Amino acid sequence: MAPRLCSISVAARRLLGGPGPRAGDVTAAAAARFYSKDNEGSWFRSLFVHKVDPRKDAHSTLLSKKETSSLYKIQFHNVKPEYLDAYNSLTEAVLPKLHLDEDYPCSLVGNWNTWYGEQDQAVHLWRFSGGYPALMDCMNKLKNNKEYLEFRRERSQMLLSRRNQLLLEFSFWNEPQPRLGPNIYELRTYKLKPGTMIEWGNNWARAIKYRQENQEAVGGFFSQIGELYVVHHLWAYKDLQSREETRNAAWRKRGWDENVYYTVPLVRHMESRIMIPLKISPLQ
């Protein structure tokens, strides 16, 4: 408050016809105006600052299932077009052995080729029962698996690029279970604005009930390692016409439009893939 009192005294001397301000008074007055303006602006801005409640848990703990410790890995393999059939045959010969071997704490959830979206692409979804320790146990064992190492060497000649992510499962989604076919699958990928995952989860926890009548909801996941703030929703339909009818039916349910209204502003980018299961996929 001292600078403000100084500036008031300068103004008072002017009104009373006293001597003009000294150099020190001018400096103090300028400082007072700056001090006052800066603090008033800060106070005004503070009215609009979103107050965040302190949390003791990461959003992964708040959003993922408590009763399981499963970790998921999704792989995207972009295959050279001329090798797609050979790639599928090789994959179908080797991956089921890992799935069935009880010594490896990993299991296949689904395997697909992209039908609409990125072409000549394979997508694989794995579950590691036991979380990160299971993942590391599996990776260490594969280092000494000669058949798998030969598989990777041969596979590398067929690929243009590959990437993966480690995922956790949303607590309010179904856990992916094997399905009889034939089905097509849609993988909808949402890249969210940083800091919005909790809000996304809160809205979808209420909205998922609108998408359960036809058993189309397969699984919902969010990234932990790889590109962050990425959400994957996996849906199953009998065909494209069934997809269209099911999605249109959701809009006729009161409350679905609210979910869309509140979640669309959270999204930076979104993508849809229509996928066809491989022969070995537990999700047919």
pLDDT digits (tens, 9 = 90+) for 237-263: 999 999 999 999 888 888 888 888 999
Strand partners, 22: none
51 pLDDT higher than 80: no
Distance CA 74, CA 215 (A): 22
Average pLDDT score over the chain: 83
Mean pLDDT of 159-180: 94
Closest CA to 237 of 214, 259, 254: 214
Q: Name the pTM for this structure.
A: 0.78
1 pLDDT higher than 80: no
Number of Cα atoms under 13 Å in the Cβ half of residue 213: 11
State which amino acid sits at residue 120: D
Q: Which long-range contacts (CB under 8 A, 24 or more apart) does 265-269 make?
A: 266/192, 266/193, 266/196, 266/199, 266/200, 267/190, 267/191, 267/192, 267/193, 268/191, 268/192, 268/193, 269/190, 269/191
- Between 212 and 175, the higher pLDDT residue: 175
> Sign (positive/negative) of CA torsion 240, 242, 247, 248?
positive
Q: What pLDDT score does 116 carry? A: 98
